[in-house]
Amino acid sequence: MKSRLFQGASLCVAALSVFASAALAQTRTKLTAYTALENDQLPPFKAAIEAAVPDVEIVWVRDSTGVITARFLAEKDNPRADLVIGLAATSTLLFEKMNLLESYSPTGADKLRPAFRDGAGDYTWTGTAAILAVVCYNTVEAKKANAVAPVSWDDLTKADFKGKVVMPHPASSGTGYLQVAAWLQLMGEEKGWAFMDKLHDNVAVYTHSGSAPCVQAAKGERMVGIGFDMRGAREKTNGAPIDLIVPKEGVGWDVETTAIVKGTKNLAAAKKVADWTATKGANELFSKYSAIVAHPEVKNAPPNYPAEAEGKLVKNDFAWMAAERDRILKEWVKRYESKAQPK
Amino acid sequence: MNESFARPLVRESTIANALVATLIVTLILMIGWPLWALLSKSLQDGTGAFIGLANFRTYFSTPSMVAALVNSLWVAALTTTIVVPLAFVYAYALTRSRMPGKGLFTALALLPIFAPSLLSAISLIYLFGNQGFLKELLLGHSIYGPIGIVFAESCYCFPHAVMIIATGLRLADGRLYEVAEALGTRPSRVFFTITLPGVRYAAISAAFVVFTLVITDFGIPKVIGGQFSVLATDAYKQIVGQQNFEMGAVVGLVLLVPAILAFFVDRHIQKRQVALLSARAVPYEPKPAPGRDLALTLFCLAIASVLVAMLGMAIWASFIRYWPYNLSLTLANYEFENFEPGAWGPYLTSLKMAGLVAVLGTALIFTGAYLVEKTKVAAPLRGIAHFLAMLPMAVPGLVLGLGYVFFINTKGSPFGVLYGTLAVLVINTVAHFYTVGHITATTALKQIDPEFEAVSSSLKVPFWVTFRRVTMPISMPAILDIAVYMFVNAMTTISAVIFLYGPATKLASISVIHMDESGATAPAAAMATCIVLTAIAAKLIHLVMDKLVFERLQAWRRR
Amino acid sequence: MASSQRQTEGTAGAPFVSIRSLDKFYGSFKALADINLDVARGEFVSFLGPSGCGKTTLLRAIAGLDRQSSGSIAIGGRDVSQAPPSERDFGIVFQSYALFPNLTIAENIGYGLVNRRRPRDEITARVQELLAMVGLPGQAGKYPAQLSGGQQQRVALARALATSPGLLLLDEPLSALDAQVRIRLREEIREVQKRLGVTTFMVTHDQEEALSMADRIVVMNHGVIEQIGTPEEIYRAPSTPFVADFIGRINLLPGVLREAGRVEVAERVFSCPASSDLAPGSKIEVGIRPEAIRVRGVSGNEANAVRVRIHDLEFLGAFCRALLAVEARPDLHLVADFSANLMRDLALAEGMVIPVELPVEALRLFPARSAA
Ligand SMILES: Nc1ncnc2c1ncn2[C@@H]1O[C@H](COP(=O)(O)OP(=O)(O)O)[C@@H](O)[C@H]1O
Ligand SMILES: [Mg+2]
């Protein structure tokens, strides 16, 4: 009897505490953030934001850059996001042009490196970190195939690599698009497409995610992966037999950005989160996942990261990249869609 | 005595009619309306204006889309051609031989049911991928693409085909074989004149089921399809990747065609099968034939090994530290916080979702079947309710999921609040698997004396009391069956929910897709392993509970 | 069909159950046609007829389980035509027993009582009383599966009677039981019914059952009532050839009515009872039951005597069934039952030619069936 009573009481207490914590959660403002950050970045980012801005709770909606961008555009009449965090500048620029972003300059944004600041028109987005595309080259597989390590993009079109190259689909992956845009800017439209036509013959598959190519190269599933820089470095640190190669012509890059969605019901809270992204503390967190971050005082040399990469960034015209995104992707799909991995 | 004649405020038949009407409205909202939304979306442009068949014209004039359609058709056809004969021999061994360990072989054949379809695809990557240790068997061909899809789909569909064909083989009339033997008929002739014709309908039915399963499966082509696009991944690409809802709706409708065709052919065949059944048959007792039994045992062993390998490879892979360069074992791949923003959250959400589906779905399905089968309701209401209950069978999960997207996402829809909630996942999953539960419930209810309700009404006991005191307790085994079926399917389903989950309601199966997408294959295998083990555990608990219910709580079954 | 409108005696005062012009259609199939029936309180009425003739349909219409297509039903003076079963006042027993397998015998019997919010003691006492009445004391705690078929049917009866209904409906209650149990239960049911004075309808296709149990029998065929009457009336004075043939056996010979009391069969004129409703010259069928054909002490000179050849003798224990061929018209056959006594006394054997008499009072005249 007694134990029954006790059980009952403890059940009540348990129930009450559940309600209490639910009630506590209720008092925090839920912010829905659309993001293309890597999966493993999300928990620490959420924890850091919620520690810095205690009255918000971050709810992530994550997918690859292309998917999140398409989703954001599809919902433009009825936005469901409060913020975008960690989305490529080419996408946020597009949103800015469509007048979908709130004009706000976070405190301290003026101290950030110029490339990481919204340079034109209303100030809507703030960069956090750079994403680069590098070549992940599996040395074990290369040895088996007697292949010579590539030093330039053109090397990748050699017969050695037939069916052994994997790169991200530019329509869904931000890494994919920034590299396609880089080739077109480096070589010019005509030569750029001609190069991609030749590369296409060597590509085994265009993956949905920007991480996948270096992972596949790391595991020897493919010999060469053109993919997200930090993923490659991480795989190498984990013991993968890969080299991270920076082709001599230069590599593509983009900036991950934060912006507030126009019409959010939680503007005040969103501004606090935007402020946080410009702090040095936040940039220290970013630097755990990126080699190059917005804050000029935060320097970082991730293990196994190719030191020469920063010097080899192509000259990016973000405005062009954003404005031409739709056209370039259409052209790309027309030419190469048949080898795309199902998204 | 006169008080007992008094007309009650509301008559039972009124209540029954009202309940069935409620059921109908519920089913229309759950099944009918989403399909309608899908259909109407396919006839609209991006702004919602009616444009007739223009989307279909665009579809059929876009080479990459037609290519996916053609791919889907031939892959499904090839899988069917492979699976049905294999399943036939396997089912033949289970029903017509004296092979030892039939129980075990049955259980092994059913294994794939407990896993998400893409599990076998993940295993195939490890076995036959560019680093797979059986890669040489492919003679230079790539597992990414049709080979992998057909192989993985064959595993995934195998249990369904075996179950259907075995049921057909069990219906055989033993007397026919005795007569044939008495007439000295050669065994091969017996096989071709008695066995094959007898199981013909089951085989056709199995073929259609397999074809539909393959053509509408999403998980396998997503994981192992490589550059090979099919209808299901096309739909996903249109909807999720490009947010092109209208074209997604068109793909959904194209997917619906073979499924509906299969449904009607199957209905037709079922009717024939009933006619076969109604003759008073004597169960067939296989005679000993050591040669045949040995051959069949070896065959089943081979097939079962493949199925076990498919499961085992993924489980093993989930413990490998760094494939293929470091094969030491680790639990690191189960530390989902490193690969998945929700960490273990999706798994818990899946459990919650499957639990709710099992409880609420079973309650709805069984009560609904009871109302339709046992109460005195107006015949048209009964007909409509039954039709709606059978409808999901003809609607692939992917198509239903698309319907829900449009149903919820259309501007001004009162159901917009459901967007991304657990509720919509539960409702959609219940709808998706409604029919099998409904058939199970109806079959169980048909076996209960139809006069119980008559007796009750003569005793002035309302039908809901009899439902609670008699019908439900008697049907407990069937109710448990339905609940476990719903649970297992809710755990493993992908195709419908991939369009519907929200930030807070990502499911384990979707997490598998996402992790695999980003190259985290081992953690994906780990999450898939969690799903399989949970589903198998649910089945084992079911078996134990069945024993308990039968032997303790249902003393009345003993003589 | 002629007699379905006929009001039968035995309905002194207002009838307890009164059925008027009842029709029942299943689609275009007419399962019941123009059923009229009055039953007095306390009567035991049996619906008898071949399988598929509509007996169960009629019973279920009375119960309200399957509503009639048209016509009315009154029970206890109240029109219940549109009332659902729960607003009629009956207990019902089915051939399948329909016992709830997961409830004990006591719970089964008390099923209708519990719902009426009677005190628990009262229910227990009532269940004990009913168990004693149907001869199953001490079985209260068992489950139906642990009882024999006969015992289960007793439980079903007790359950139907538990709420003291004004009407008891039995649908082939005994046909699932074996012969001996069936005969014992017949008596028990009849006894309980008499004791309680509950008006009872019983569906059966077994004429013996109907004859031995019912106060009155409703003979049905193809959805119509052929005849209503006491077992004796039905047997002695069947009003249609169908009834005559269904209840016991009868020889039917085609003939023509010459004048009142004179009928011509096979070019011979026989005396027959005077019939009021048949016009002279009309085609008729003459019926005589096998056991009514006289053999003993027939000289051959009686008015209705005929010489017959014993074509075949079938030994059936207490009597022999003889197939007789009329000597003058060998294509005309009669079936007669000869007692063992008679067989011995007259040393009857196949092939013998003997005179038999068709007693005037045993002949029944029926209008000829148009088709046959
Ligand atoms: N639910 C039904 N639908 C169609 N026909 C029915 C139905 N129930 C009974 N019948 C038909 O009505 C006739 C009478 O049936 P029934 O009353 O059950 O006969 P019985 O005299 O054997 O009890 C039969 O021909 C039967 O086939
Ligand atoms: Mg009947």
Determine which residue's CA is closest to atom 8 belonging to ligand 1: C57
Asked if C46 contacts C205 with a C-beta cutoff of 8 angstroms, the reply is no
What is the per-residue pLDDT across C89-107, written as a single tens digit (0 to 9) for each? 899 999 888 999 999 999 9
In the predicted structure, residue B23 carries a pLDDT above the cut 80: yes
Q: How is B128-178 classified by DSSP, letter by letter?
A: HSTT-TTGGGGTT--STTHHHHHHHHHHHHHHHHHHHHHHHHHT--HHHHH
Which domains are delineated in chain B? Answer: 1-39+354-559 (1.10.3720.10), 43-279+302-328 (1.10.3720.10)
Q: Which of A18-32, A148-162, B119-133, B364-378 has the lowest mean pLDDT?
A: A18-32
Q: What is the pLDDT of residue B242?
A: 73
Rounded to whole angstroms, the Cα distance separating B193 from B184 reads 14
In the predicted structure, residue C8 carries a pLDDT above the cut 60: no
A266: helix, strand or coil: coil
Contact present, A and C (at least 3 Cβ pairs less than 8 Å): no
A chain contacts of residue B248, beta-carbon cutoff 8 Å: none
Does the beta-carbon distance from B229 to A342 stay under 8 Å? yes
In the predicted structure, residue C372 carries a pLDDT above the cut 60: no
Question: How much is the pTM?
Answer: 0.85
Q: What is the pLDDT of residue C218?
A: 97
Asked if C348 contacts C313 with a C-beta cutoff of 8 angstroms, the reply is yes
What is the per-residue pLDDT across B232-283, written as a single tens digit (0 to 9) for each? 888 888 887 777 888 888 998 998 888 888 778 777 777 766 555 444 556 6
DSSP-derived secondary structure letter, C200: E
What is the per-residue pLDDT across B387-435, written as a single tens digit (0 to 9) for each? 999 888 888 888 898 888 888 876 667 777 787 899 999 999 999 999 9
Rounded to whole angstroms, the Cα distance separating C229 from C238 reads 9
B64 — pLDDT class (breaks 50, 70, 90)? confident
A chain contacts of residue B65, beta-carbon cutoff 8 Å: none
Interhelix angle B434-446/B362-374, nearest 10 degrees: 50
| C175 Cβ below 6 A of ligand 1 | no
Q: What is the pLDDT of residue B201?
A: 81
| C55 Cβ below 6 A of ligand 1 | yes
Q: How is C252-317 classified by DSSP, letter by letter?
A: EEEEEEEETTEEEETTEEEE----SSS-TT-EEEEEE-GGG-B-TT--S-STTEEEEEEEEEEE-S
Q: Given the CA of residue C203, which atom of ligand 1 is nearest to it?
A: 23
What is the per-residue pLDDT across B462-498, written as a single tens digit (0 to 9) for each? 999 999 999 999 898 899 999 999 999 999 999 889 8
C165 touches chain B (CB under 8 A): yes
pLDDT, chain B, mean? 87
B78 touches chain C (CB under 8 A): no
Q: What is the pLDDT of residue B5?
A: 54
User: For B335-352, what is the mean pLDDT?
Assistant: 89
Which domains are delineated in chain A? Answer: 29-130+254-286 (3.40.190.10), 131-253+307-339 (3.40.190.10)
Q: What is the pLDDT of residue B279?
A: 46
- pLDDT (tens, 9 = 90+) of chain A, 343 residues, equals 444 444 544 444 444 444 445 555 557 888 999 999 987 788 889 999 999 999 999 988 888 888 888 888 877 877 889 999 999 999 999 999 889 999 999 999 999 999 899 887 789 999 999 999 999 999 999 999 999 999 999 999 999 999 999 999 998 899 999 999 999 999 999 999 999 999 999 999 899 889 999 999 999 989 999 999 999 998 999 889 999 999 999 999 999 999 999 999 999 999 999 999 999 999 999 998 999 999 999 988 889 999 999 899 999 999 999 999 989 998 998 888 765 554 4
Q: How is C82-101 classified by DSSP, letter by letter?
A: T--GGGS-EEEEETT----T
Q: Given B125, B227, B341, which is nearest A60 (Cβ)?
A: B341
A–B interface: beta-carbon pairs under 8 A = 119
In the predicted structure, residue B555 carries a pLDDT above the cut 80: no
Does the beta-carbon distance from B455 to C63 stay under 8 Å? no
B chain contacts of residue C92, beta-carbon cutoff 8 Å: 454-455, 458
Q: What is the pLDDT of residue B164?
A: 87
Pocket test for ligand 1, best of C30, C56, C68 (most atoms within 8 A of CB): C56
Rounded to whole angstroms, the Cα distance separating B457 from B471 reads 14
Q: What angle do CA C101, C106, C110 make, to 5 degrees?
A: 100
For residue A238, the chain B residue with the least C-alpha distance is B322
DSSP-derived secondary structure letter, A299: -
| C54 Cβ below 6 A of ligand 1 | yes
B529-544 as b/e, with b when 16 or more CB fall inside 10 Å? bbbbebbbebbeebee
A chain contacts of residue B127, beta-carbon cutoff 8 Å: none
Q: Which of B167-181, B203-217, B288-302 has the lowest mean pLDDT?
A: B167-181
Rounded to whole angstroms, the Cα distance separating C295 from C311 reads 15
Q: What is the pLDDT of residue B276?
A: 52
Pocket test for ligand 1, best of C22, C24, C28, C29 (most atoms within 8 A of CB): C29
Radius of gyration of chain B (CA): 25
